[in-house]
Amino acid sequence: MKYRRFGKLDWKGSALGFGAMRLPTKGDDSSNIDEPEAMKMVHYAIDHGVNYVDTAYPYHGGNSELFVGRALKGGYRDKVKLATKLPCWLVESADDFDKYLNEQLQKLQTEHIDFYLLHGLNGERWPKMRDLGIMERAEKAIADGRIGHICYSFHDKCEVFKQIVDAYDGWTMCQIQHNYMDIENQAGTEGLKYAVSKGLAVVIMEPILGGRLVNPPQPIQDLWDTAPIKRKPADWALQWLWNQPEVSLVLSGMSAMRHVEENVASAAASGIDTLTEEELALVAQVREKYEELCPIPCTQCEYCMPCPNGVNIPRNFEAYNEGAMYDKPDHGRRVYSQWIPEAERASACIQCRECEDKCPQSILISEWMPWVHAVLGEGKPYEACQMP
């Protein structure tokens, strides 16, 4: 295992961290963790040098923290730094901070959480947490030993990310979504470098986009096959991240033992500035090819918003595009049904065309929306619903 500097701390984290969000399950119920298999995976990772385990209050229907608490018994707790997260969306008062923290300590069977993150901060949640006095409660929890460091995970635009970095001097670490396709999405590369310039450690989540960068469509695989050094697509994504000195640790949510074995081996072969210029150029080519596979040229500028009928136009296009680009139609359909409220889906479009005059890309939004719903909402194949 390789180890990397972790912000200002006198501690080095393993290149690979174990994320307990996608543990193996029995059947389709995500809350029913296959504990014997998951236990083997966690212990294998720690036995092979992983020293950072990450979980959160809602993972696996609330059972991830309970599982992690059991998995870290028998001396494993002393071998790792443990991270979990405050469910900010449930917090309505300062007292809720202690309510959830104490519940999580009990579930995790520990008296101390090393890194306690405010979960999923964005432009709405951060002001609420700040104004409720959550940071003062966090400082008291540090003082009494219940947590070691206060941190946050993030999903929003880069300018919001920078505002949160600057808004509180006590941050030790932030967790951001980053991969070779997201260099300008959310915090992006700009946010990564900004956080490091302020002394924060940066933990990476979604390094392979929830699996969307694995098993790529043939045009992408053809590009990977041109490399002199052969790597699996997941390894390319991980090595691209570890190549960057700003990256403190890469989290992987592994759901099978082979994922753990492969990722541990990848981490052992990782290093800063180890990819050649030719290899970095190949990754850039892959990114460009993926973008060519994107059917709707939406840039998420949001000039089309707000829709007078409530449709979240960019979010619908994003779900449709990702299903097509990564050849993962089920992913697009899952996002559409689970993460886009029914009133904001493409099916709510009444073809008023008000948005089309505002679109810098001249997208025929009103004509695309029925196709988006047909594929994502009705399950029709992409090839049957492409615009001319």
68-88 per-position pLDDT tens digit: 999 999 999 999 999 999 999
> For residues 56 and 35, what is the distance between their CA atoms, to the nearest angstrom?
17
Q: Residue 31's Cα: distance from chain center in Å?
A: 20
**Count of residues making up the chain:** 388
Q: Give the whole-angstrom CA distance, residue 288 versus residue 377.
A: 28
Which tens digits make up the pLDDT trace of 245-280? 999 999 999 999 999 999 999 999 999 999 999 999
Give buried/exposed letters for 251-285 (b at 16+ CB in 10 A, else e): bbbbbeeebbebbbebbeebeeeebeeebeebbee
Rounded CA-CA distance 114/104 in Å is: 13
Query: Is the pLDDT confidence value at 388 over 60?
Result: no
Mapping DSSP to helix (H, G, I), strand (E, B) and coil, where does residue 174 land? Answer: strand
Q: What is the pLDDT of residues 36-54, one digit of tens each?
A: 999 999 999 999 999 999 9
Sorted by where each starts, the structural domains of the chain and their CATH numbers stand as 3-276 (3.20.20.100), 313-384 (no CATH)
**What would the mean pLDDT of 332-347 be, rounded to a whole number?**
95
Residue 202 reports pLDDT greater than 70 = yes
Please report which confidence band the pLDDT of residue 383 belongs to, taking 50, 70 and 90 as the band edges: confident
C-alpha–C-alpha distance, residues 283 and 285, integer Å: 5
Instruction: Give yes or no for a cis peptide into 388 (omega within 30° of 0).
Output: no
> pLDDT confidence of 386, banded at 50, 70, 90?
low
- What percentage of the chain reaches a pLDDT higher than 70? 99
> How, if at all, do strands 12-14 and 3-5 pair?
antiparallel
Tokens of 60: 């696996």
DSSP 337-350: HHTS-GGGSGGG--
pLDDT (tens digit per residue) in 225-234? 999 999 999 9
Pick the more confident residue, 216 or 388.
216
Residue 169's nearest CA partner among 212, 202, 200 is 200
What's the mean per-residue pLDDT of the chain?
95
CA torsion through residues 255, 260, 266, 267, sign: positive
Is the pLDDT score of 384 beyond 90? no
Distances (CA, A) of 23 to 67, 69, 197: 10, 14, 34
Predicted local distance difference test score (pLDDT) of residue 299: 82
Convert the pLDDT of each residue in 118-162 to its tens digit.
999 999 999 999 999 999 999 999 999 999 999 999 999 999 999
Locate all alpha helices (DSSP H) within the chain, ordered by sequence.
35-47, 63-71, 94-107, 125-132, 134-143, 158-167, 188-197, 218-224, 233-242, 257-268, 277-292, 313-325, 329-338, 365-376
What's the pTM value of the predicted model, to 2 decimals?
0.89
3-state secondary structure of 245: coil
What tens digit of pLDDT does each residue of 307-321 get? 999 999 999 999 999
Give the Å distances, CA to CA, from 295 to 106, 340, 386: 48, 20, 8
Q: Does 301 have pLDDT greater than 90?
A: no
CA dist., res. 334 & res. 351, Å (int): 24
Rounded Cα–Cα distance for residues 340 and 236 (Å): 31
DSSP letter for 15, please. S
